[in-house]
Structure 1
Amino acid sequence: MNKQLLKYFFFLLLFAFNQSFAKTDELPLNNNVRKRISFNKGWQFHLAYDVSKHPQKLNVTLPHTWNAKDVLLGNTNYKRETGIYEKSFKVKPEWKDKRLFLYFDGANSVASVFVNQHFVTEHKGGYTAFCVEITDFIKTGELNTITVQVSNAFRNDVLPLSGDFNVYGGIHRPVSLLVTSKNCISPLDYASPGVYLTPKDISAASATVNVLSKLSLTDTAKFEVRSEIRDAEQHLVGSATSAIVDNKQCAQTISIRNPHFWNGKTDPYLYSATIKLLKNGQLIDEVKQSLGIRYYKVDADSGFSLNGEYLDLHGVGFHEDVEGKGSAVDTADYNKDMQLIKEIGANALRLTHYPHGQYFYDLCDKNGLVVWSEIPFVGPGGYSGDGYIKSEALEQQVKQVLTEMIRQNYNHPSIFFWGLFNELKLDHDDPVPFLNQLDSLAKKEDSTRLTTCATFLDNDKFNKVTDLIAWNKYYGWYAGEFKQIGIWADKTHSLFPGKPFAVSEYGAGGSPFKHTENDDKPAADSKFHPEEWQTSYHEANWQELSKRSFIWAKFVWALADFGSSIRKEGDAPGINDKGLVTYDRRVKKDAFYFYKANWNNVPMLYITDRRNISRHKPLTTVKVYSTVSNVQLIVNGTALKSASPDQLHIIKWGNIKLKKGLNKIEVRSGSGDNVLEDSCEWTLE
């Protein structure tokens, strides 16, 4: 090597050395830092009733459910039994001195985990995650077999005991393999991240973030926890380093000057927090979490405010299942639902009737949605059965699920409300004493969020349990008239002064394949759920609800049709058809566009009743949802008068005459390059 080349090589080494220590807040990495490895592929599945020597096994990729198809038959006797999942894998030699954990995002409803035919753990509850350490059961350098027995059979000690939705059996959410050093930030604290971030003392000038890290340490070396908070541009805005005194946890406080608020859809600003575990100065583990700083208030008279400003909370409740997949949905399904939510203009979500997947909560954080998250403590509503029995085993399981939901989702700034139950009854065992215990538990676990519930009973026993309350009301569908929702709201506001309340559900069934030209109310339990009645329902109910700012939130039921084996009405069995879009997410019903016009300020024109293509009345009304003015109607090429939308963004042209045969209906607004238009065709029989 000549002198010139040697000099150049030395320069490169010096440059690299200087660069590695240029940022003093960065620590040298080594192979001890945790790895999170997808464990979704390579599983085999069979139902447990196949007891032959060589049962037929299906190759499956997680998430998976065995109920994706049979629930579509609309029978309540869909398979609620036990399925068996198996996967074999080899442990890498470099993992010999590591700790291994399996992290299940959700297995419905009771899961037993075996490693190399040795029982490791059982978990009850299908909608919260659980984590199990398998280090002591693994053979390094050999093939290891993971077996998971999952049962969705009804049990009176496992939620839900009832409900208007399907309990899809299977490992219906992703699974990961965690590989950590012998000493780590614990993944075993109710399957939480092991790190809890609590913003306190929030003002425009400053905020304090309390950082609590749960630790799992196996030796007595010198340990430190370094916590760093960075802004969206990855600039360090605060940090703390603490020597470990308590080997189970570490509490720290970090101050942030001039905090940038997480401000809903307007500005869903996220910091990032990285918690690092050091052993003798060397980085051996780290956990990263998003952080949103915000404050809020709910008032019985003035409604909801975020960061000191009133925010009219309006949105949807929804189940995560999709036609043909059940609840075994993937990130593409979650992304599609989020796009629908963004298009409709919702700023709030009620995630029903159970905690949803972690990926979706991340989407809510990033998109600025205000979230109500709840446990599957669900009553029978208008059906027979019990959602609660006074049983110590059940009560312990409910408390477990509530604790898991809160700890696993504690760091999500999008979550504002913990829902404790939905539509419990007072017919049999009185749930109220236990509900008071649940409320106390929620406040002990998280003092920064408010508790709420959804009831359909006009009984004040439930009013005193949670911080907030909400009602499921269906005036104009199951009973009553549209206008009663406003009358009821005013009466409730008067009867319970000081108690903030919301409307947690309101909706009506509607099929985009069933139509009417009449205003006759359909029977809720019939096969005939015309799209037009659903549309009228939402127009009238929203007209009343939108005028009442004291209602702290209004949630449409529901974003999408969903599976419910007990349902026999509508044009398809086994489906609750109150969604604004169809079960497969392919068809947006007219009511979807009504809310889009009212909640989303993007320019739009949409002709309603467009799918009612076969007409029998020569005189009709053309109705349009619009966010723009001066909309012109054109019928069969003839331009009629222009009109502008009312306060509900509706335009109606009455007594429009149709000709025999095919009629083309067009609407148009604007000129030049800024033209909005829509069209459809109707046939007068």
Structure 2
Amino acid sequence: MVQNSLPMLKPQRTLSRDLVSLDGLWKFSVAASPNSTAQPWTKPLVTDLECPVPASYNDIFIDRNIRDHVGWVYYQRDVIVPKGWSGEQYFARAESATHEGQIYINDRLVAHHVGGYTPFEADVTDLVKAGEQFRLTIAVNNILTFQTLPPGKVEVSNVTGKRTQTYYHDFYNYAGLARSVWLYSVPTQHIQDITVVTDYEGTTGQIKYNITATKGSGKIQIAVIDESGATVATASGATGTISIPSVQLWQPGAAYLYNFRASIIDSSNKKTLDTYNLATGIRTIAVKDAQFLINDKPFYFTGFGKHEDTNIRGKGHDQAYMVHDFQLLNWIGANSFRTSHYPYTEEMMEFADRKGIVIIDETAAVGLNFDLHTPGERTFGPDLINNQTREAHAQAIRELVHRDKNHASVVMWSIANEPASHAEGAREYFEPLATLTRQLDSSRPVTFINVQTATYKLDKISDLFDVTCLNRYFGWYLTTGDLAEAEVALRTELQGWVDRFPNKPIIMTEYGADTVTGLHSVFSLPWSEEYQVDMLAMYHRVFDEFEAVWGEQVWNFADFQTSVGTGRVDGNKKGVFTRERRPKAAAHELRARWTKLRK
């Protein structure tokens, strides 16, 4: 049984590889009780429910008990291994299972994974023969604890005995199989992993590469192919550096991707045993003299924190929404977004590679700040966020870097959002994680997202990171409705960070105001569209005063669902687009500013 091991490269179809999509309707059931001893994977599910994959299950069914279910659910379908895969190796793969997943082939548990946003897989070659049918069951558990990312706890009512999952992040705890499931094949000797790091000097590009493959007599050959289909460089061997003459760089807003084609060639007959194609953008990233540089040119971030969140589907990946969201990013003049607050689908990362959108790539470490919800409550401690949590956090970083290391669009790793970086125990918790991230990838800067309460006077960990990323809500959560006072507070805060870290660029990764579409006020009062416009304009006025500010990412791109609470009416309304992607007044104001900055 495979447990939280790093999976192979994203499945793809080549002359040597094949894949079968298992997306569609699956049989679906929920566990009868937390103490149930039933083993539903051992036989066909007895249920009249069918659930679409990919999709979160919570909003699919008109059943509050399913929506609020705490614990395991089960997806099941029959799968046939294609006859033509005889002599190949084949795997069952889930791109995610939120937040814990188990894969069963017939009665047998073959993979277990904790962490809701990265892929896991199992080799099923020895369990099912080519041409045979098997029962595939995927169990998914949505329970969060102090040792998971994000953290949470299950509370049991003394009155009804009902179990409720509570958590510390401000977005709904959607669960299920929100991304694709695959059955895929590879040759017995195959490429398992590729790492590329790019550079350039003058007009010559460089790709430093390292390839991991299964043992065999075949030799690795590399070809680099440009967008016209011409081979511009070749190499051999599992590691090396390839030079690309007259290189076309990957640029923000002007993507150019080479096909880095790795093949295994049989030494005896020169036949190709395996091929993998990796879209590769050649570009450099650096932080220098309080600037963020892409290809040695200063880059100013404009864009958003986003969410994977749509009606009915929840976090379910949807190609139509993805394409439309990128169209809106282009329309509004944005050049970037942050994968707040978890890794997004790899399809979205690939799309950003092709469209020249810049990404701050974030782990699911959100909610590591109990003081935000209960003032004075400790976050770090033996029975709270502890060494076991940190190991889960480290594994999440390993899996994120392993999956996304080759994406040109990814320019920085964010290892946490709004942790209690001012609290006792924060440095001991985060210092090893910052070190680990740099060990895994030294080609990108590393950051975390600083919370409002961890001011420049109180924060204990920002010196460990390369870029200062701030979430600030002066005018909303603080000095609510008073933009004059908020402006003074924001200016003071930014100056404090500049004085403390004069050589670090600052990106404002969250700022915004909840806004009800169609609510207007001649007084520009909170919740109105006018107030959102005025608040953003105030922030931009202050940003423009500081040379150290190198980015503005509004919270949020679109309205999104949250847990039920008196401070939330059908979710968080800080989007500049509605959940249905209709623009609020602020969207037009941002477009005017950002399209001018883009020029």
* Aligned with residue 291 of structure 1, among 260, 264, 280: 280
Checking the alignment, whether the CA contact within 8 Å between 2:61 and 2:67 is kept in structure 1 is no
Distance in structure 2 (CA, Å) of the matches to 1:452 and 1:135 = 41
Instruction: Tell me, yes or no, if the aligned pair for 2:103 and 2:112 is still in contact at 8 Å.
Output: yes
1:71 is displaced (CA, Å) by: 12
Give 1:174's aligned amino acid. S
Structure 1 residue 282 and structure 2 residue 288: aligned? Answer: no
C-alpha distance in 2 between matches for 1:416 and 1:54: 44
Which position in structure 2 is the counterpart of 1:435?
Answer: 430
Deviation at 1:77, TM superposition (A): 8.6
Are the equivalent residues in 2 in contact too, given 1:273–1:291 (CA < 8 A)? Answer: yes
Corresponding residue of 1:663:
none
1:60 aligns with 2:56: no
Matched residue, 2:494? 489
CA distance in 1, matches of 2:439, 2:256: 28
Distance in 2 (CA, whole Å) between partners of 1:84 and 1:360 is 27
Is the Cα–Cα contact under 8 Å of residues 71 and 78 in structure 1 kept in the other structure? no
Out of 437, 448, 452, which is 2:447 matched to?
452
**1:260, 1:293 within 8 Å by CA — same for their partners in 2?**
yes
Alignment size in residue pairs: 544
Q: Is the 8 A contact 2:220 2:262 kept in 1?
A: yes
In 1, Cα distance between equivalents of 2:505 and 2:348:
27
Structure 1: distance between partners of 2:67 and 2:528? 28
1:24 counterpart residue number: none
2:14 and 2:207 map into 1 onto residues whose CA distance is 30
**Hey, what does 1:314 align to over in structure 2?**
302
Paired position in structure 2 for 1:180: 186
8 Å contact from structure 2 (residues 421, 461) kept in 1: no
CA gap of 1:241–1:602, structure 2 versus 1, over 3 A, is closer
Counterpart of 1:216 in structure 2 is 214
Contact 1:261–1:293 under 8 Å retained in 2: yes
| Contact 1:364-1:414 at 8 Å conserved across structures | yes
Range that drifts further, 126-135 or 290-299: 290-299
Alignment of 1:124-135 (within 5 A): 124-135=114-125
Q: Specify the alignment match of 1:136 in structure 2.
A: 126
The percentage of counterpart residues that share the same residue type is: 25
1:577 aligns to what SS in structure 2? coil
Matched-pair contact (CA < 8 Å) for 1:567–1:576: no
Q: Distance in 2 between matches of 1:108 and 1:347?
A: 29
CA distance in 1, matches of 2:475, 2:597: 30
Q: Hey, what does 1:583 align to over in structure 2?
A: 579
Does the 8 Å CA contact 2:301/2:507 hold for their aligned counterparts? Answer: no
1:405 aligns with 2:400: yes
Q: Call closer, same or farther: CA 1:387–1:411 in 2, change over 3 Å.
A: farther
Residue equivalent to 2:593: 598
SS in structure 2 opposite 1:268? coil
Is the 8 Å Cα contact of residues 227 and 258 (structure 2) preserved in structure 1? yes
Alignment of 1:203-352 (within 5 A): 203-217=201-215, 220=216, 222-242=217-237, 250-265=238-253, 267-280=254-267, 281-301=270-290, 303-352=291-340
Alignment of 1:152-191 (within 5 A): 152-161=142-151, 162-186=168-192
Separation in 2 of the partners of 1:76 and 1:55? 16
Structure 1 residues without counterparts, runs of 5 or longer: 1-29, 187-193, 243-249, 523-528, 604-626, 628-685
> Using the alignment, how far apart are the partners of 1:568 and 1:374 within structure 2?
29
Tell me the residue number matched to 2:154: none
Q: Deviations over 1:642-669 (max 9, x none)?
A: xxxxxxxxxxxxxxxxxxxxxxxxxxxx
> 1:383 and 1:198 mapped to 2: Cα distance?
41
Structure-2 separation of matches of 1:452 and 1:422: 10
Equivalent-residue separation in structure 2 for 1:516 and 1:317 (angstroms): 27
Alignment partners' CA distance in 1, 2:318 and 2:92: 19
Q: 1:91 to 1:495 in 2, by over 3 A?
A: closer
Moved more, 400-409 or 386-395: 386-395
Selected match of 1:98 from 88, 97, 109: 88
Summarize deviations over 1:554-589 as a string: whole Å, max 9, x none: 11111011111054335x23x11101011122x210
Verify: 1:39 aligned to 2:22, yes or no: yes
Q: CA deviation at 1:32?
A: 7.1
User: Which of 417, 425, 428 is the equivalent residue of 2:412?
Assistant: 417
Going from structure 1 to structure 2, the CA distance change for 1:506 and 1:427 (only over 3 Å counts) comes to closer
Equivalent-residue separation in structure 2 for 1:557 and 1:602 (angstroms)? 19
Deviation at 1:327, TM superposition (A): 0.1
What SS does the aligned partner of 1:136 have? coil
What SS does structure 1 have at the residue aligned with 2:534? helix
Q: CA deviation at 1:138?
A: 1.3
Q: Give the root-mean-square deviation of aligned CA atoms.
A: 2.7
Q: More deviation in 556-565 or 477-486?
A: 477-486
What amino acid does structure 2 have at the position aligned with 1:183? Q
Q: Partner letter of residue 55 of structure 1?
A: V
1:505 aligned partner: 510
The answer to whether the 8 A contact 2:224-2:232 is kept is: yes
* Residue aligned with 1:378, SS: coil
Change (3 A) 1:547 1:37: farther
TM-score normalised according to structure 2 size: 0.85
User: Runs of 5+ in structure 2 lacking a partner?
Assistant: 1-12, 152-167, 480-484
Structure 1 contact 300–550 (Cα < 8 Å) conserved: no
Q: 1-side partners of 2:421 and 2:545: how far apart?
A: 32
1:277 is paired with a residue whose SS is strand
- Using the size of structure 1 for normalisation, the TM-score is 0.75
Say if 2:308 and 2:315, in contact at 8 Å, map to a contact too: yes
Cα deviation code 1:222-269 (max 9, x no counterpart): 211111111111111111123xxxxxxx2122111222111111x211
CA distance in 2, matches of 1:67, 1:541: 37
- Any conservation in 1 of the 2:27–2:47 contact (CA below 8 Å)? no
Deviation at 1:318, TM superposition (A): 0.8
Q: Match of 1:61, SS?
A: strand
Q: Contact between 2:146 and 2:385, CA under 8 Å: does it hold in 1?
A: no
Structure 1 residues 137 and 276, CA gap change in structure 2 (3 angstroms): same
CA contact (8 A) 2:89 2:125 kept: yes
What amino acid is aligned across from residue 226 of structure 1 in structure 2? Q
Q: Give the Å deviation of 1:365.
A: 1.1
* Alignment correspondent of 1:8: none
Change (3 A) 1:263 1:426: closer
Which runs of at least 4 in structure 1 moved beyond 6 Å after TM superposition? 50-54, 70-73
1:300 is displaced (CA, Å) by 4.9
